[in-house]
Amino acid sequence: MPTSGPDAMQPALRRRRRRQGFLLPFACLSAALIAAALLPGAAFADGVTPSEARRLRDEVKDMFYHAFDGYMQHAFPLDELRPLSCQGEDSLGGYALTLIDSLDTLALLGDKERFDAAVEWVGKNVRFDINKTVSVFETNIRILGGLLSAHLIASDYATGMRIQSYDDQLLHLAADLAQRLLPAFDTPTGIPFGSITSTAGGGTLTLEFGVLSRLTNDSVYERVTKNSVRGIWARRSKLDLVGAHINVFTGEWTQKDAGIGTSIDSFYEYLLKEAYKAAMHYLHHDPWYVEVNMNSGATVWPLFNSLQAFWPGLQVLAGDVDPAIRTHAAFFSVWKKYGFTPEGFNLATSTVQNGQRSYPLRPELIESTYWLFKATRDYRYLDVGRDILASLQYGAKCPCGYCHISDVETHQQDDHMESFFLAETVKYLWLLFDLAAGPDNIVENGPYKYIFSTEGHLLPATPQIALLDEHCLYAGAFCNGTAGHGYGTGDSSNKHQNANSVPFDDSRTPSDQSLSNILSTTRGYIKGVCPGLTHAQKLGISYSAEEDNSIQQNSGSSENFDESHVIKSSVQAQSSSVILISHPVASQTEEPTSGRSQYNANIVATAESVGTDTAGASSHPEDLVKETESVSEQKEINDKEIASQGSQPTEGRYLT
């Protein structure tokens, strides 16, 4: 193959022509559909006023109770409501799915009476010792997340929803459920078993399992789910793209289409920092996104699918607002065209994709609308919310709830209502209008910053969950003796133990070889003082083998490390699954002389130890850990204290 001259340029030119072949219809479609959406006043009626926002908020509340009451009267305790026939069905596991998924929405609406009654019923009646085949992914985000969110609300006086008689019943149920799901992770790759394991299914588990680990002081849950994400990311292509489905036994990709939608979507909520740059380079055809081959980057599917609509909201949380605005306008133009977003919209033909004509009451577009309004306070997004609400009221409302739309062109209704309609769709719509009316809810005015899970469950960034001021390696795997195997086992950890904590039970930790391997590869976030830790382990960072050897040879520097040089971590909730842990560390006085004179100053962690910077840029770790750009602009660093210690912040390192 020639390395220079005209012949060498031919492959690149062919690739460019191949990409441009798809770009032309995108450009025409964008001009035709979204121009009005980007021009204030051109597409909407009079803007939503604060008084109308209050009326719309109340209308959404009525929408919730129409669906919730319909479920309770006609379907409970079955999983989900059939809103046309006013009957129920077991769709996931037969444990009152819709009720559990709705618990924190009841709390958000301030309905203490129904919240109390629902929590009490779930605690007394739901059991998981049943013979059912379930989806690990759906059970995690809907049931485990719902139980944990409700537990954290019901057990805390600061939320205003504390239940006097509550005695951690939901937490015990959550631990029992997670324990029953653990065998699914016993695969050669560490990715949990499924009939067809998607990237999202294996990579969207750490937030719920991680919170459970920190509440129960049993680190195994977080370890196995982090190991699953590592198992997927380690098999990314050279382009830093991941496919849609993977064989959990061989680690081979069974579907190599990379995209931001179906089967991959929520994976980006955990590894956005690592994956964002590649996604924007290969998948983004402004303002749309396509699916490409993960190895070549060639476009294979010019399709907008409704699950992509979460992406602008995620971009807002990453600080990349401008492309989020354009993409949201494009996605909403499809809603305007049909009254709903179909599961698939072909960008090349500007038509609904055959076989993907339905709208199953998905929340993703509403979620992005909420985050864009929160970031910009542009009242255009209230107009979007009003339009979406009108579509749901006039097209999806049915006798006992809200129906799936089986065909967005005919608006034919289907007799089904997913639990996420009450957990997410209604929740984000209510939050949108409440924010405009003058917010009065625990998310905006409560005692904590809240993380929204993939299912929209509210998880507070409390010190216990965020590991603020912990003095032991977070996973506890390296702590010996009295340090135990769990979280927060140092001297000061008892400050953050509360009545909600369940003692760590070592007998519950699986002893098989695959899980044992996880113990030896776990990384931490926060500096520890456990005996026997290397310098790297104390700071919660990873080194190459060469670097590890160098540090072991200079063990004195680790032993003499002045721990007063570590400033308290400050924790700040950044997104639906992002926690920023600011951890400036002074340089050591006794360093190896190999040019590594400073160690990490900044550690960014998420539910999967991934942070997003305000520019929305991305970082790509080599072997999961790599030097990246500093994100000091996001951190609250005590400059005077650093200066007094004779230290300057160094580059950040992103852990996975």
Phi, psi for 468 (deg, rounded to 5): -65, 130
Taking the CA of residue 98 as centre, how many other CA atoms within 13 Å lie in the half-sphere pointing to its CB? 30
DSSP E strands, 75-196? 80-82, 87-89
Asked if residues 434 and 466 have their Cβ atoms less than 8 Å apart, the reply is: no
Asked if residues 140 and 205 have their Cβ atoms less than 8 Å apart, the reply is: yes
Measured CA angle at 436 (ends 431, 439), to 5 deg: 60
Q: CA-to-CA distance for 291 and 260, rounded, in angstroms?
A: 8
Torsion, Cα 333 334 337 339, to 10 degrees, reads -110
The dihedral built from the CA positions of residue 419, 266, 318 and 286, taken in this order, carries a sign that is: negative
* CA 375 to each of CA 321, 365, 575: distance values in angstroms, whole numbers, following the listed order: 8, 15, 12
Q: CA-to-CA distance for 24 and 580, rounded, in angstroms?
A: 40
Ramachandran area for residue 638 (φ above 0: left; ψ -120 to 50: alpha; else beta): beta
364 is catalytic: yes
Q: CA-to-CA distance for 60 and 83, rounded, in angstroms?
A: 18
For 499, other C-beta atoms within 10 Å of its C-beta total: 8
For 259, other C-beta atoms within 10 Å of its C-beta total: 27
Q: Given 52, 59, 120, 138, which residue is catalytic?
A: 138
Give bridge partners of residue 299 from the DSSP assignment.
292
Q: CA-to-CA distance for 220 and 201, rounded, in angstroms?
A: 19
Q: CA-to-CA distance for 621 and 578, rounded, in angstroms?
A: 18
656 known ligand binder: no
Q: Given 291, 343, 387, 434, which residue is catalytic?
A: 343
Q: CA-to-CA distance for 327 and 543, rounded, in angstroms?
A: 39
Q: What is the DSSP string of 224-246?
A: HHHHHHHHHHTT--TTS---SEE
Show the tokens assigned to 346. Answer: 């072909």
Of the candidates 236, 155, 139, 240, the one whose C-alpha atom is nearest the C-alpha of residue 193 is 139
138 is catalytic: yes
ω into residue 77 within 30 of 0, thus cis? Answer: yes
Binding-site residues: 454
Binding-site residues for Ca(2+): 454
Would you name the residues annotated as active-site residues? 138, 265, 343, 364
